[in-house]
Amino acid sequence: MKLYLVSAVAGLLVGGLYALMQVRSPAPPLVALVGLCGIYLGEFGTAALIQWTQDRA
């Protein structure tokens, strides 16, 4: 849970810096969220596949 809190605070800080510098996020928010979702699913799927293959061996 602590990791999620640290991640959220870091995101808020970066968002605040972007606002202070008056620049936009490099990726539209929806595109960024879809990309993060893909990364998470890829990480989860790979870990599950590795565990599955180890269980079969």
* Count of domains for the chain: 1
What is the overall mean pLDDT for the chain? 87
Residues 13-36, mean pLDDT to the nearest whole number: 84
d(CA 14, CA 23): 11
Residues 12-34, mean pLDDT to the nearest whole number: 84
Sequence-separated (6 or more) residues with CB below 8 Å from residue 35: 27
Residue range of the domain that includes 35: 2-56
Q: Note the pLDDT of residue 20.
A: 92
> What values do phi and psi take at 38, rounded to 5?
-65, -40
Q: Note the pLDDT of residue 32.
A: 79
